Every structure is written in C-alpha cells, then in structure tokens.
Amino acid sequence: MSILKVCHLGHPVLRMQSKRVPREALASPAIQNLIDDMMETMVEYYGVGLAAPQVHHSLSIAVIECHGPRGEIPMTVLVNPEMTILDESLLEDWEGCLSIPDFRGRVPRYARLRVDALDRHGHKVEFTAEDFFARVIQHEFDHLMGKVYLDRMRDLGTLAHMAEFERYWLPREKKAGSSE
C-alpha cells in the first residue's frame, strides 16, 4: 500500500463530477489497490473521509472511518453512492478538508439520510446515517459531485485558519458544550 498525494483546492479534478465505477471493474487490482491506498492515506493524514477525486482519480469512490469523541464509524467503502434525505433539518457544525488544509468553517448538513451504494466487492449496501456520520457522507459525496465544503457554507465569516480556530473558536465550542 502507498500514501497518495492529496490535491488541494484549485486542482481541476476537485471540481469535476466523478465517473461511476462499473461493478465488474471493482475486482481489478488497480481499483482494489486504489481503495487500499485511499484508506492508508486517510489514516496517515488523520482524516475521517477521503474521496477518490482528492487523490487525483475522478472515480465515484469514498472511504470513511472514525474512532473518537465524534462517534464510532467502522471503515466504510462507498462506490457510486446515492443519498436520500430522510430529515430536512439542517445541522450546522465545523468541517475541515484534507484538500483545503489548515482551515475550518461551519457548514449546514442534513441530519439523517439513507445511503445506497456498492461496497469494494460490488455488493449492494443500504443503510441509514445520522448526525456526524451523515455529515461525513455528505462531505465526501460533495467531492464526488465536484463540490467542496466552502460551497455549502452559509457565512464565510466563520472560515478560520486552524491556529485561529483553535485559539478563538474551539474554546467557545468547548465551553458551550460543557455543563458549567
């Protein structure tokens, strides 16, 4: 496996709608290696999700995994995902992106959705995602559609460099969530 180079905002592949992956192509060593490399790259850079366009491949593949205070999400591979919104409520929270390093911003996302996709072996997967898991799926789905989280922000006034986010915004968020 290899750590892949992550492209940054401005690279044209981030603004392209990705190509669907034919089910029969999933068994190819090239696609299986790409998925393995995407998982390793996501973990290496402390991401919770990574879409193929972020590593210079305009293919409809995303990987997601999270273990920590935001929740437990097992390693999930989504090929050709489709989303159905189950709750029109929008929840606004902070997001970052490996393709827009060192920045955070508040992004509204749907609270609950159904996902239909293929797994890495071409088997159909269907599940419901809520809260943080739903947020991550929407973030990665946006990458597959040629969008980034900045496109979804209601107010660019919350866009913050990571150092300033940690200094000014994070303490406010921790205090708001405390029982003091």
Query: Domain limits of the chain?
Result: 12-177
Query: What confidence tens digit (pLDDT) does each residue in 14-73 have?
Result: 999 999 999 999 999 999 999 999 999 999 999 999 999 999 999 999 999 999 888 899
Residue range 129-138: average pLDDT?
A: 97
What residues contact 61, with CB distance under 8 A and at least 6 apart? 18, 21, 31, 34, 35, 38, 51, 52, 77, 78, 79
Apex 16 CA angle, 51 and 162, nearest 5: 55
- CATH class name, domain 12-177: alpha beta
Give SS3 for 86: strand
Q: What is the pTM of this model?
A: 0.93
Neighbouring-strand partners of residue 147: none
Whether 140 is catalytic is yes
Which H helix or E strand runs over 39? helix 29-44
Amino acid at 31: I
Mean pLDDT estimate for the chain = 94
Could you say which of 24, 44, 140, 164 is catalytic? 140
